[in-house]
Chain A
Amino acid sequence: MSNRDIQNTMAVFKREFLAYFNSPVFYVIVVIFLLAAMGFPFLFSRILESDDVNLTERFFVWHPWIYTVLAPAVGMRLWSEEHRLGTIELLLTMPVSPWHAILGKFFAAAAVWLAGLVLTFPIVWTVCYLGEPDMGPIISGYIASYLYALSCLSLTCAVSAITRSQVVCFISSVFVCLVIALIGDPGFTQLIVSSVPGWAEWLVHVVSYFSFMDHFYELTKGIFVTHDVLYFVSVIIVTLIFTHEVLRAKRA
Chain B
Amino acid sequence: MIQVQNLIKVFGTKVAVDDISFSVEKGEVLGFLGPNGAGKSTTMRMVTGYFRPTSGSVSLCGIDMLENPEAAKQRLGYLPENAPLYSDMTVASFLGFCAEMRGLHGAARNKAIDRVLEMCFLDNVRNQSVDTLSKGYRHRTCFAQSIIHDPDVLILDEPTDGLDPNQKHEVRSMIKRMGKDKAIIFSTHILEEVEAACSRAIIIDRGKVVADGTPESLKKLVPGAHSLDEVFRSITKPDTAPAKAA
Contact = CB atoms under 8 A, between A and B. Distances in A.
B50 A15 contact: no
B145 A19 contact: no
Interface residues of A, number: 26
Interface stretch (B15-23, B25-33, B99-107, B193-201): B99-107
Interface string A213-252: 0000000000000000000000000000000000010011
Given A11-B101, A95-B70, A90 B51 contact: no
Interface residues on B, range: 20 to 34
Interface in B13-64: 45, 48-52
Nearest to B90: A22
B49 to A, nearest CB: 6
Interface in A58-92: 85-87, 89-92
B3 interface: no
Contacts, number: 74
Given A90-B80, A94-B98, A251 B70 contact: no
User: Secondary structure of the B side of the interface?
Assistant: loop
Contacts of B91: none
Nearest to A248: B52
B103 A7 contact: yes
Nearest to B54: A252
B52 A86 contact: no
Given A15-B86, A15-B89, A7 B80 contact: no
Interface of A: 4, 7-8, 11-12, 14-15, 18-19, 22-23, 85-87, 89-97, 248, 251-252
Interface of B: 45, 48-52, 70-71, 73-74, 76, 78, 80-82, 84-89, 93, 97-98, 100-103, 105, 142, 145
